[in-house]
Amino acid sequence: MSENRVLRRIFGPKRDEVTGGWRKLHNEELHNLYSSPSISGMIKSWKMRWAGNVTRMGEKRNAYMILLGKPEGKRPLGRPRRRGRSARQCHQGLQEACGESALPYRTVARWVKVFDEGRQNVADTRLPGRPSVSEEEVYAFSMLLESDRRHTIRELARETGLAHTTVLHILKERLDMRKIASRGVPHDLREMQKWLRYDAARNHLERDNVRPHAAQAVADLFDRWGWEVLYHPPYSPDLSPCDFDLIPKMKEPLRGIRFRTVPEILQAGDRSIRTIRINTRGAAKGILRLPHRWQRVVHNAGDYTEGQ
């Protein structure tokens, strides 16, 4: 649906000054009703059918004035309107515009009812009572993750005494964290971190910054072998072959096995590594996938390439 058709449905017909009859607005008249390209883009991209939805978007004040019939100082026409449509008609219009992603009929009917009762805001009202997750619990979680980022969800639930779903809610919704290559990392990278990832991807990185890997003994060994050490950006397990390829291959044959002693763990890990070394084609997949991952980082302007 074009933006002109959307605007015609919002503003309705116009009375002709000569004949006195009603006619549709011309395209030029529609565009004269507003001048902000961002508002035009909002109406075009969201394919507005009823006025309440627009308050969810960016320029709330200007868009709200347009949908109220008060663009550029014109007289307001009242609260958000359905223009005489029933809930069923509104639902059919949403299905035409949004397809399968349209709201269900019961939701549309509920919103039509509350708008008829005078409501003008589509944001959820704050519920009374104590919040499901307190700030103290969120702070305790952040401290646990600062001490050890390798905590599993079960371990966090056991240490805090909270339910598994509550732990997931705190990690994803309150702390903005997600799992990247078997690690929890910040959901939003800072601009400097993105630039570091972007620059490193262009320079073909190869070694991560884990402390044993960056030790002086390892650096001396690389110098003796004549290997070039390239820069690896922080918080980038999705660019480390050990994290996204080697370690998952080592863990797969050990899944579900219970070990009683540390030597048993070391022996099992050694056998797993030997199995990977025998299958040379499988061992090289992580290295061979690096150029593709570098390209994805450059394409994403430094943002994460996994978990999207």
Return the higher-pLDDT residue of 16 and 106.
106
CA-CA distances (angstroms) from residue 13 to 46, 67, 105, 147?
22, 14, 27, 64
List the domain boundaries for the chain. 3-116, 135-175, 191-299
50 within 8 A of 98, measured Cβ to Cβ: no
**Residue 89 banded pLDDT, cuts 50, 70, 90:** confident
What is d(CA 67, CA 121) in angstroms, rounded to the nearest whole number? Answer: 13
Could you write out the DSSP letters of every residue in 264-299?
HHHHHHHHHHHHHHHSHHHHTHHHHTHHHHHHHHHH
Distance CA 251, CA 269 (A): 8
Q: Do domains 135-175 and 191-299 have the same CATH topology?
A: no
The CATH code belonging to domain 135-175 is 1.10.10
User: Greater confidence, 101 or 189?
Assistant: 101
- Give SS3 for 134: coil
pLDDT digits (tens, 9 = 90+) for 253-283: 888 888 889 999 888 888 888 877 655 555 5
Q: What is the pLDDT, as a whole number, of residue 64?
A: 42
CATH of 191-299, one of 1.10.540.10, 3.30.43.10, 3.30.420.10, 3.40.640.10: 3.30.420.10
Q: What does pTM read for this prediction?
A: 0.31
The residue with tokens 């006025």 is 51
The Cα 180–Cα 202 span in angstroms is 21
Task: Note the pLDDT of residue 5.
Answer: 53
For residue 174, what is the DSSP state? I
C-alpha span between 92 and 105 (Å, rounded): 9
Task: Quickly tell me which residue has 């599993």 as its tokens.
Answer: 152
- Residue 71: the pLDDT is 42
Does 127 score more than 80 pLDDT? no
**pLDDT higher than threshold 60 for residue 37:** no
Residue 39 vs residue 153, higher pLDDT? 153
CA-closest candidate to residue 31, choices 8, 9, 1: 8
From its phi and psi, is residue 99 left (phi > 0), alpha (psi between -120 and 50) or beta?
A: left
- Per residue in 184-194, pLDDT (tens digit) is 555 556 666 66
Spatial contact of 151 and 92, defined as CB atoms under 8 Å apart? no
- 36-45, 69-78, 143-152, 244-253: least confident range: 69-78
Burial 71-84 (b: 16+ CB within 10 A, else e): beeeeeeeebbbee
pLDDT given at position 58: 39
According to the model, what pLDDT value does residue 173 have? 77
Per-residue model confidence as pLDDT tens digits over 154-212:
888 888 888 888 888 888 777 777 665 455 555 556 666 666 666 665 544 345 555 55
Q: What is the pLDDT of residue 3?
A: 47
Residue 124 banded pLDDT, cuts 50, 70, 90: low
Count H helices and E strands in the chain, helices first.
Answer: 17, 4
Separation of alpha carbons 219 and 224, rounded Å: 9
Q: 264: how many CB neighbours lie within 10 A of its CB? A: 12
